[in-house]
Amino acid sequence: MKNTSKLLAKLSFAVLALAFLLTGCKKEEKIAPTDQQILENKIQDIIPQKYLDTLKILGLTIHSSTTPPNVEGVYDISPTKLRSTNRPQDIVGSTGFNSKMKLFEQSPDDFSIRLLGKMFLSENDTSIATAISGSGNNFTVYGKVKSVFGENSAIIAIILSATKDGDALRNVEFGIINIDNSNGGNVFIEEGQGRVWFDSDFISNTTNVFRMSDRNMTENQPAQPGNTIISGVLK
C-alpha cells in the first residue's frame, strides 16, 4: 500500500510538472507581428510620431496602408515650391531647387526601400533608414538623412507622398523636418521645425540619369537671387 501511494504521488507530481512545462511553453510562444505593426515600427524608427504629426498639421498627405505600389525608378521633381512652414520668417510660395530622387530595392515583405536624393537637403542626400506605405497607386516614402555642414550635422526626416501614374509620379509633395539637432549648432532650422514642398507642375517624369556629386551644395553653392530658398534645412 505504501509503495502504491508513493507511486501515485510520483505520477501526480510528474503530471503536474508536465502541465507546468507545457503551459510555460505556450506562454513563451511569440505571436507574429502583423504587417501594420511591422510598418509602424519601421516608421517610428525613422521619424518620431510627434514630428510626423507636425508635418501632417502643415498639410502633408500621408498614405499609411500596407500595400504600396512598386515605385522603383529615378524621378525629376521640379519646379518645387514651398507650400507651408512653421517658421515665421519663411515665405510661402518660394521657389526651391529642382530635385531628383532615386528609389530602389523596394521590398514588399518588410516595407523597406532605398532612397537617394539630389537637392532635397543638399547636393547629395542618402537615406540611412527608409520605409514605404500606401495602397493602390498612392504611396508615402519615409527617409532619415544625416545632413552635414562643416563641423555641424543634423538628422533630418524627408517624407514624400505621391501617386504613381504609369512611369511617372503625380502630385508629389514632401516634408522636411529636423528631428535631431544635438550637433547642429546654429546652422540648421531648429529641431521640430519643418517645411512642406510640392512639385508645382504636378507631374514628375522618370529619367535615366542620376549621378551623385563629389561636393556638398550647402557649402559650395553661391547665393541665389530672388526668393529661392537655398536648402530645405538651412536657416
User: What tens digit of pLDDT does each residue of 191-216 get?
Assistant: 999 999 999 999 999 998 776 554 44
Q: Are residues 206 and 106 in the same domain?
A: yes
Question: First and final CA of the chain: distance in angstroms?
Answer: 91
Q: Does 117 map to a domain?
A: yes
Give the pTM.
Answer: 0.81
The answer to whether 178 touches 193, Cβ cutoff 8 Å, is yes
Asked if residue 165 is part of any domain, the answer here is: yes
Residues 57 and 159 in one domain: yes
158-162, long-range: CB within 8 Å, 24+ apart, which pairs?
158/115, 158/117, 158/120, 158/121, 158/125, 158/127, 159/47, 159/52, 159/55, 159/60, 159/62, 160/101, 161/60, 161/61, 161/62, 161/63, 162/71, 162/138, 162/204
On whether residue 230 sits in a domain, the answer given is: no
Positive or negative torsion for Cα 50, 229, 140, 156: negative
| Average pLDDT score over residue span 90-113 | 94
Residue-wise pLDDT tens digits, 117-160: 998 988 888 999 999 999 999 999 999 999 988 899 999 999 99
Residue 229 lies in a domain: no
Structural domain boundaries, residue 39: 35-220
In a domain, residue 92? The reply is yes
Kindly tell me if the per-residue pLDDT of 83 is higher than 90. Answer: yes
Q: Domains in the chain: how many in total? A: 2
Instruction: Clarify whether residues 23 and 101 are in a common domain.
Output: no
Tell me the residue type at 88: P
* Same domain for 67 and 1: no
pLDDT > 70 fraction of the chain, expressed in percent and rounded: 79
For 21, how many CA atoms within 13 A lie in the half-sphere containing its CB? 6
